[in-house]
A and B are shown apart, each in its own frame.
Chain A
């Protein structure tokens, strides 16, 4: 019998020595450019890949199971650890799903702050993508530059919520805090500089011979293939499908702001790179508009729904009944009505959806996360054959996968 406390090695059934010319190469799970813990079993014919088999699960932490034993508010910080490059977008996806379940409307100022967080997170994620991909391909300078800009954003978010990486900056029903004093001016300062910075990266990379050779016509995903494998986000848009959930099913204030969704029909690594750069510009454009929206809002931050959401601090300190309510909500948790929801949002990596099945109890009966990176890892099975070993690194780079959300 298997002893639950003993660690057992997991060997796959793979013969590495073969009679034919085929070589089986094990890539990962601890490879510097495997973006975490991707393991690829590559069958090689000389240097060309003939078969690839992505193996995941090395970061499986059992989040979906954990959710079934936690009250809704308690689970929110766990979502930070999914896509840890852009933590707020996961917080937001989960909060939005629960809000739909309990049917509350978030006050406008909270919406503005959420928009600010979502788009700064998108910028952070794209800058990080640029840094790591450039590093994998050998452009160390770009890595250092992009991290420099990212640190400004980290500082901003830290000013707001106190954490650099794992924000938990969104609550179910609103946001916990108002913006600190200098947030908007600092953000504007950063945004004013951003186009220059993006131009710097593009000057370094766009016409760079090595970069072009590694990126152009490498890892081409056709439209059909992208749709078949369930791609979303930049992966889908680079393959010629103009699909952005912010436009198709607008949530929050995305229907009030004015922005373009860039797309390309080339489908190769280079198209994806250009797409990320353009999306950064669009994010900046959105942020400018959202900054202007902030001034005209009233200062409420949390929705008013006494059955599900704790009352404000002032009410709690002055009214006995509110205090009791808060106590019950913290110790027992909210009890959403029986029902199920699926809410998709456009995270920096693609469609991030939360499915919640509630049986009326304080814990979700089942919580399922639809993480974009999971599908983008699957496509490697079809995408890699025909390419050479160095291409593997650049293709993994442009798929922008993060293992926290694949294995969960």
Chain B
């Protein structure tokens, strides 16, 4: 049997690494989750705080973008009202596949404390949600943990998965 005598890391080694396409693609995808800024209410402030100096979201490769075309993660942070619901659907549709949605805070999860005529009782009635973060408002650590969970999930997925439509609630 052939023995591997080449030290790939030294000079003159073969510039080759064995892996699968899935791994490479998912490595790229999970470490550059660009998020669409979707600060709707109070939770949006905590989302900003997690992007700012102390919590520093950039080290996860998560950078906030202002355009749906450049982002693959939508962090819905705040209360969704019926007047706004139309826009969130439109922006979600404008994002390119593959795309993920994190619903941040009780309001986005279930309507939270605002069980009134004006609020949508959970964004999952309008767009499909991948991850729910509890709290009112969730701490920046919660959001970062949520993004890490999402990264783990992405790494397990097939890179060329057929685009099955996600289910609405």
Contacts and interface: CB of A to CB of B under 8 A. Distances in A.
Interface string B75-91: 00011011111111001
A10 interface: yes
Contact of A66 (B38, B64, B87, B114): B114
B66 A7 contact: no
A145 interface: yes
Interface stretch (B46-54, B95-103, B148-156): B46-54
B45 A37 contact: no
Contacts of A145: 53
Interface string B101-127: 000000000000110111110000110
A143 B52 CA distance: 8
Contacts of A58: 81, 83-84
Contacts of B48: 132, 147
A204 interface: no
A103 B78 CA distance: 36
B24 to A, nearest CB: 32
Given A10-B83, A164-B46, A61 B38 contact: no
Interface size class of B (residues with CB under 8 A): 35 or more
Contacts of B128: none
Nearest to A165: B137
A32 B137 contact: no
B37 interface: yes
Nearest to A152: B54
B46 A61 contact: no
B128 to A, nearest CB: 15
B41 interface: yes
B54 A147 contact: yes
Contacts of B119: 61-62
B63 interface: no
A60 B113 contact: no
A388 interface: no
Contacts of B78: 59
A81 B42 contact: yes
B87 A29 contact: yes
Q: Which of B37, B79, B119 has the most CB of A within 10 A?
A: B79
Interface in A36-66: 36-37, 57-63, 65-66
Interface of A: 7-10, 29-32, 36-37, 57-63, 65-66, 77-78, 80-81, 84-85, 128, 131-132, 143-145, 147-148, 150-151, 154, 164-166, 403-404
Interface of B: 37-42, 44-46, 48-49, 52-54, 64, 66, 78-79, 81-88, 91, 113-114, 116-120, 125-126, 136-137, 139
28 contacts: A7-B86, A7-B120, A7-B126, A10-B86, A29-B87, A30-B87, A36-B39, A36-B44, A37-B40, A37-B84, A58-B81, A58-B83, A59-B40, A59-B41, A59-B84, A60-B81, A60-B83, A62-B117, A65-B117, A66-B116, A77-B113, A80-B42, A81-B42, A84-B137, A131-B52, A144-B52, A147-B53, A404-B42
Given A30-B84, A151-B53, 16 more contacts: A10-B83, A10-B86, A32-B64, A37-B40, A57-B83, A59-B40, A61-B116, A62-B116, A65-B116, A66-B114, A85-B45, A132-B48, A144-B53, A148-B54, A164-B139, A165-B46
